[in-house]
Amino acid sequence: MLELPATPIGVVLFAHGSGSGRFSPRNNYVAAQLRAAGVATLLLDLLTPQEDALQQNRFDIALLSRRLHAAATWLGTEPLSAPLPLGLFGASTGAAAALRLAADSGSGVAAVVSRGGRPDLAGAALAQVDAPTLLIVGGEDGVVIDLNRQALAALRCEKELVVVPGAGHLFEEEGKLEQVAALACAWFVRHFDPV
């Protein structure tokens, strides 16, 4: 689902997490806020329904990265999106796939945001990421906070970790997803702005 505001300043490709897809209400909310801020969005399923039925596919970061790369390549060929800076928004295991793509020197990724992500699963690729990267994690998401801190230490690019107080893994608590959207919008707008 590619949606563009009237005069987009960039495009964000969403990398969904395990067991999620293009209809994720959380990612659709963030995408709507991005479009309101002038950013085009592409939401798609990285796995077919049959593939998603197998738990191990949801953690196959190499497979998810290849699918994400194909989507980014497609965006680069579409006349409406090709001239736009590319951002990646990853959730859960999708964050690792997004960071693996951003580590590819030819990817042209301008910025990355991870929401409740598992950036640690990107492994050695973290040190190769050049794109400014924002890691957002819920304050009640115990182990995932530690995994994000480890990933932050491995990143060599412009980076930031924001822990949202009182938020769980899915940011379902009142007002928490709104905080995520505001943080993501600010990050992408700042790094897409040519000024």
Each residue of 30-71: pLDDT tens digit?
999 999 999 999 999 887 667 766 666 677 788 889 999 999
Each residue of 153-187: pLDDT tens digit?
999 999 999 999 999 888 988 999 999 999 999 99
Output the CA–CA distances (angstroms, integers) from residue 124 to 5, 66, 94, 129, in the order listed: 36, 17, 16, 10
Each residue of 73-101: pLDDT tens digit?
999 999 999 999 999 999 989 999 999 99
Coil vs helix vs strand at 35: helix
Q: What is the pLDDT at residue 27?
A: 84
97 and 15 Cβ atoms separated by less than 8 Å: yes
Torsion on CA atoms 181, 183, 187, 190, rounded to nearest 10: 100
Confidence at 140, pLDDT banded by 50, 70, 90: very high
Q: What is the pLDDT at residue 78?
A: 93
Report which of 104, 126, 116, 119 is spatially closest to residue 30, judged by C-alpha positions. 116
How far is residue 1 CA from its own chain's centroid? 16
Rounded Cα distance, 5 and 1, in Å:
13
Check whether 195 has a pLDDT greater than 60.
Answer: no
Single-letter code of the amino acid located at 57: N
Each residue of 9-32: pLDDT tens digit?
999 999 976 555 566 778 899 999
Rounded Cα distance, 64 and 13, in Å:
13
